[in-house]
Amino acid sequence: MSYRLDAVIGDFDHLRGWAEGAAVVAPLRQRMGLLLPSTALREDLPRTLRDLFRAGPVAQVEADFWGGDGRQTAALWRAGAREWGPVRTSDFDGPREDWPINAALARLGVASAGPGAPDYHDLFLEVGLGRGRDERDWSFAALEAHDVTTYDEWHARERARRESEERAAAERALCERLPGVPVPLNGKEIIALLGIPQGRMIGAAVRHLQQLHLDGGPVSRAEAEAALHAWAAEQGPAPASGEREDGLVLPRPPPADPGAFPRA
């Protein structure tokens, strides 16, 4: 599997402010952005960096890998001048913090996630550079964020999207049958008992009976019928956001874990 990166990394808002119409910028974590220089900009990238990025530091990064072997190059520009690098390596046996792109990101102010977190010592992954594998991936990421005006706006939208996905996943989990856990009623019997049509509510009812079995042991048919009547009554009236086409409401999933969202 290959990986190729040839870009400029810096503050997202700063890069977007300059690149309007001249290049595309994809959002990364920690308020960073990844700019893909156009062909015209690549022709004299050092001059572009020197003349156009005087307001803040930017890193020029390159990486090319295939099947685990490859190389990295990175340099840091600040106040219109190259402050560090270029540093190159194809030897990745040493500490990750010394690898060129990680070292450049540290100089940009990218922070470690902290001991105990996955890859806390790899800023390359911490900032999100593993999300894309080539220019096409980053162009798509930039296109998805093309209509935002600031990093905060993108971050809020991304948080909302992740929250929606988490809630949908939790809702699906409530309707998935657990393997190997018996229930005394099948789907047709539940439909007849509760007077409801075929749908996801049946899966939720089966899952409820399975949970009763896990919590207190085998449930008799009579106990299952009484438990389902009580359970159905507890669902209550549906809020507008929870309504289904069949007029039924699934149990509300727990709120998504805020820790799953991207950090600003």
Own/partner contacts of 214-220, CB < 8 Å, gap of 24 or more, are 214/178, 214/181, 218/182, 219/183, 219/184, 220/184
3-state secondary structure labels for all residues of 191-256: HHHHCCCCCHHHHHHHHHHHHHHHHHCCCCHHHHHHHHHHHHHHCCCCCHHHCCCCCCCCCCCCCC
Q: How far apart are CA 157 and CA 137, in angstroms?
A: 20
Provide the pLDDT for residue 6. 92
Burial 69-102 (b: 16+ CB within 10 A, else e): eeebbbbbbbeeeeebbebebeeeeeebeebbbb
DSSP notation for 54-106 = -SS-EEEEEEEEETTEEEEEEEEEETTEEEEEEEEES---S-GGGSHHHHHHH
Residues 6+ apart with CB under 8 A from 212: 219, 223, 224, 227
pTM over 0.85, yes/no:
no
Is residue 71 a contact partner of residue 7, using CB atoms and an 8 Å limit?
no
Is residue 138 a contact partner of residue 36, using CB atoms and an 8 Å limit?
yes
Provide the pLDDT for residue 44. 74
The residue ranges of the chain whose pLDDT is under 50 are 237-261
Q: What is the CB-side half-sphere exposure of residue 205 using CA atoms within 13 A?
A: 31
